[in-house]
């Protein structure tokens, strides 16, 4: 018997026709080497295998026939067909209607007011819109700068990706892509002129929640003063990172998965407090989970009695440490850019294999 390393699914010997035995073994060994599932195999895996093991068209057709034969004999769909590959590539590059509907349901439940819930709610609503409504990938979203999106009073444009979206007055302002973008863009414009979480938190706390009857203001946005990432990362207190990079691909994927699977935790709204010396804002730390074993210990810990000056000093030290980390990681950006370029080239070659697969 033979098996695929990553799935531990055994392939009965009788499922492998003699004339395909060598070609199947070659494919199975390659899957083991690269730690991909060979049974059942994803159409993308088959395309990658053909791309990394070039051969004459007749040889490639025989390899595809072997893979398809073993899969159908084991009761799985044949992955090496043009239809399967096209369907898989389309699913990767175009948002499905059910995914759009799921995203809209999530966006409707996200808060638009409160601190810091309104901050994260508005950002994540735009993140879901860009991914599930407009079809951008996590890598593309992470690279977007604020200036990459424009609004002329009616149409939202992302020229670098050929996206144009008109405001739809018949769609709820909760989910309309233009309204979702404007809520976030105006929040960023506010921080341009008032770069303090103190005032941002107060503004979101006193803001009026968005409903289906809310009228979307279509006034033009003010000029951008600080052209940073469109979707920056924040710590749990709502402080943005100090670098020029947006959310990472991994962070975006994690956020999307949490929202679409319903595994997100409700963020506690916090009261924004002000110090007499004008230092930003103080928020209570929230313990996300305490086990029973930790509960007794937690009760015995006395909270530190810090003055506003001591808290401010610690805050500035934390910012300095984060700036240092951002500078240390800056050299990695070209490396990731190179990986993204190689990935795009590989996907282009995969699509070029469709003609070969068609004859399989």
In the chain, domain spans: 2-93+346-358, 97-260
Given a cut of 90, is residue 7 above it in pLDDT?
Answer: no
CA–CA dist 323, 327 (Å, integer): 6
User: What's the pLDDT tens digit per position in 278-297?
Assistant: 333 333 222 232 233 333 33
Name which residue leads in pLDDT, 261 or 334: 261
> Would you say residue 106 has pLDDT above 80?
yes
* CB of 339 closer than 8 Å to CB of 71: no
Percent of the chain at pLDDT > 90 equals 26
Question: Which residues does 64 contact at the CB level (< 8 Å), separation at least 6?
Answer: 46, 50, 80, 357, 360
Q: For the structural domain made of 2-93+346-358, what CATH number should be given?
A: 1.10.150
Q: Give the residue-averaged pLDDT of 175-200.
A: 91
Q: What is the mean pLDDT of residues 77-81?
A: 80
- Report pLDDT for 73: 84
pLDDT at 241 over 70: yes
Instruction: Tell me how far apart the alpha carbons of residues 192 and 68 are, in angstroms, rounded to a whole number.
Output: 57
pLDDT-above-70 percentage for the chain: 63
What mean pLDDT value characterizes the chain? 75
- Per residue, what are the HEC states of the chain? CEECCCCCCEECHHHCCHHHHHHHHHHHHHHHHHCCCCCCCCHHHHHHHHHHCCCCHHHHHHHHHHHHHHHHHCCCCCCCCHHHHHHHHHHHHCCCHHHHHHHHHHHHHCCCCCCCHHHHHHHHHHHHHHHHHCCCCHHHHHHCEHHHCEECCCEEEEHHHCEEEECCCCCCCCCCHHHHHHHHHHHHHHHHHCCCHHHHHHHHHHCCCCCCCCCCCCCCCCCCCCCCECCCCECCCCCECCCCCCCCHHHHHHHHHHHHCCCCCCCCCCCCECCCCCCCCECCCCCCCCCHHHHHHHHHCCCCCCCHHHHHHHHHHHHHHHHHHHHHHHHHHHHHHHHHHHHHHHHHHHHHCHHHHHCC
Quick check: 32 pLDDT over 90? no
């Amino acid at each position: 018997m033979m098996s695929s390393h990553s799935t531990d699914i055994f392939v009965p010997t009788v499922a492998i026709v003699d004339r395909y035995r060598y070609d199947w073994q070659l494919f199975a060994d390659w899957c083991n080497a690269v730690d991909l599932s060979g049974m059942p195999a994803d159409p993308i895996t088959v395309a990658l295998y053909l791309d990394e093991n070039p051969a004459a068209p007749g040889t490639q057709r025989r390899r595809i026939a072997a893979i398809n034969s073993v899969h159908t004999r084991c009761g799985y769909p044949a992955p090496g067909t043009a239809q399967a590959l096209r369907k898989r590539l389309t699913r990767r590059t175009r948002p499905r209607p059910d995914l759009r509907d799921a995203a809209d349901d999530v966006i409707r439940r996200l808060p638009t007011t409160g601190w810091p819930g309104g901050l994260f709610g508005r950002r994540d609503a735009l993140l879901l819109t860009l991914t599930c409504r407009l079809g951008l990938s996590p890598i593309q979203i992470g690279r977007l700068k604020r200036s990459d999106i424009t609004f002329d009073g009616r149409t939202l444009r992302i020229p670098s990706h050929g996206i144009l979206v008109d405001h739809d007055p018949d769609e709820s302002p909760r989910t309309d892509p233009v309204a979702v973008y404007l809520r976030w863009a105006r929040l960023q414009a506010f921080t341009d002129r008032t770069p303090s979480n103190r005032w941002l938190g107060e503004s979101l706390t006193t803001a009026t929640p968005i409903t289906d009857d809310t009228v979307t203001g279509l006034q033009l946005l003010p000029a951008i003063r600080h052209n940073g990432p469109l979707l920056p990362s924040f710590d749990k207190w709502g402080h943005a990172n100090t670098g020029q990079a947006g959310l990472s691909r991994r962070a975006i994927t994690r956020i999307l998965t949490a929202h679409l699977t319903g595994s997100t935790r409700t963020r506690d709204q916090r009261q924004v407090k002000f110090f007499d010396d004008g230092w930003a804002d103080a928020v209570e730390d929230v313990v996300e989970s305490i086990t029973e074993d930790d509960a007794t210990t937690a009760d015995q810990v006395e909270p530190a009695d810090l003055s506003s000056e001591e808290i401010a000093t610690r805050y500035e030290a934390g910012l300095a440490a984060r700036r240092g980390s951002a500078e240390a990681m800056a050299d990695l950006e070209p490396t990731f850019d190179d990986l993204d370029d190689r990935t795009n080239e590989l996907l282009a070659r995969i699509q070029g294999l469709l003609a070969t697969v068609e004859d399989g």
